[in-house]
Structure 1
Amino acid sequence: MKLTSLLLAFAATALPTLAADLEPTLGKKGKLLLEETFSGPEVPKGWHANTGSLRIVEGQLHAGEKSSDKHIGAFRHRLPLQDCAVQVEFKLGAMRVINLGYDPAPGELKKKGHLFSVVITPKSWSLIEHNDKSNPASKTKVHAMAKTDFAPNMTYTLLLECRGSEVVAQVTGKEPLKANAPDFHVKKPGLVFRMGGKDGQEVALDNVKVWALE
């Protein structure tokens, strides 16, 4: 039993990880606006599932899509933001796609729908500007994209920063992605996470930190 316990403990410490704190390139980290480690038994207050599922598993937030919703899984955390940096650790698992991005705050733009997102799949990642759902002629624009593998059981750190019209996304072990668009400067009402996969598949998120960017 003692040998088994030692082997299990070693396996836990040897899990693959590329998690590490990242530093922004568009400014300096200012006031810490949010820090969440998901250490409690329940989903913390303020994390709201619009579609899909949210649950705490061994100190991580697990999120997935439900086919019964007939919509990609989506959850939000309300937190007024503008120039900011968001850092989160993630493990993709079997998910086909995960997004982290923003909506424009009400009254900021004459636009319906999301503002921009960093999109991660098992084989690529990108920075996209979402289409205007009120305009049938509007199309989603890919500002930056790179083909690269994301190992399903590897823990990565993502840092998404925005300042003025500029956006930079960093992931440990990857070359950064950059984008620039006039609408990006607007106020944002909070974080938007989305994830797509089959029932029972989940992305694991941990150690979310948000700073004002100075």
Structure 2
Amino acid sequence: MKRNVLLVALFTVTLPVIAADLEPVLGKKGALIKQETFDGPDVPKGWVANTGSLRIAEGKLHAAEKSSDKHIGAFRHRLPLQDCAVQMDFKLGSMRIINLGYDPAPGELKKKGHLFSVVVTPESWSIIEHNDKANPESKTKKLATANTNFDPETTYTLLLECKGNDVIAHVTGKDSLKATAPDFHVKKPGLVFRMGGKDGQEAIIDNVKVWALE
């Protein structure tokens, strides 16, 4: 009897801890459009490094900037979206910045460049509306921000929800950020990730899920 109890105890402590999904507040989760756990040996098809580098290690996606690119590490996953909720686990590591956001789909806006992003640094996080690169007078706007520390070795879960012109970002253990802008409702061609750091530094992403938001 004692041997059976010991075996049960050993089995219990080795079970993996799976974080619960965060829940949106702008609407309800609809269809699960995308799920990626990065369990294979190679970067999954469709995850593209425009600049920087991507690799898989220990079942997670490692993303880095390369100084030779002279540009922050920029990565995309094509996935047509509009009203949606995107969740991912991330670890900042020694990186100085992580972004998750969107571009406007072609033909949606008379604008060049990104639409909006949630930006995480070791000391703060924000929702920003990006400038129009075709307009020299256009400026990037910080629509919501909070000064709060992100431990470099802690894995956080981020949920970014967008419905109409409203955006809310949630991170485990942090107060949510909210923002609104007239152009946020447009169609989006996919996910945009950006990672900034020195050569040899990496951010880690895992458990990406994308839902339609109803």
Q: Same fold (TM over 0.5)?
A: yes
Residue 195 to residue 18, structure 1, CA distance change in 2 (3 Å): farther
**4+ residue stretches of structure 1 with deviation over 4 A?**
none
One-letter identity of the residue aligned with 2:106: P
Contact 1:20 1:157 in 2 (8 A): no
CA apart distance, 1:21: 1.4
**1: CA distance between counterparts of 2:98 and 2:37?**
19
Matched, 1:109 2:109: yes
- DSSP-derived class of the 1:185 partner: coil
CA apart distance, 1:179: 0.3
Equivalence for 1:4: none
**2: CA distance between counterparts of 1:19 and 1:127?**
24
Matched, 1:100 2:100: yes
Structure 1: runs of 5 or more not aligned: 1-9
**1: CA distance between counterparts of 2:182 and 2:24?**
20
Matched, 1:158 2:158: yes
Taking the TM superposition and a 5 Å limit, the aligned residue runs for 1:4-83 are 19-83=19-83
CA apart distance, 1:18: 10
Percent of aligned pairs sharing the same letter: 78
**Larger-gyration structure (1/2):** 2
- DSSP-derived class of the 2:190 partner: strand
Equivalence for 2:124: 124
CA apart distance, 1:19: 4.7
Equivalence for 1:179: 179
Equivalence for 2:201: 201
- DSSP-derived class of the 1:182 partner: coil
TM-score between both structures, scaled by the size of structure 2: 0.92
Q: Deviations over 1:34-60 (max 9, x none)?
A: 000000000000000000010001000
Contact 1:32 1:211 in 2 (8 A): yes
TM-score between both structures, scaled by the size of structure 1: 0.92
Q: Deviations over 1:174-201 (max 9, x none)?
A: 0000000110000000000001000010
CA apart distance, 1:20: 3.7
Aligned length: 201
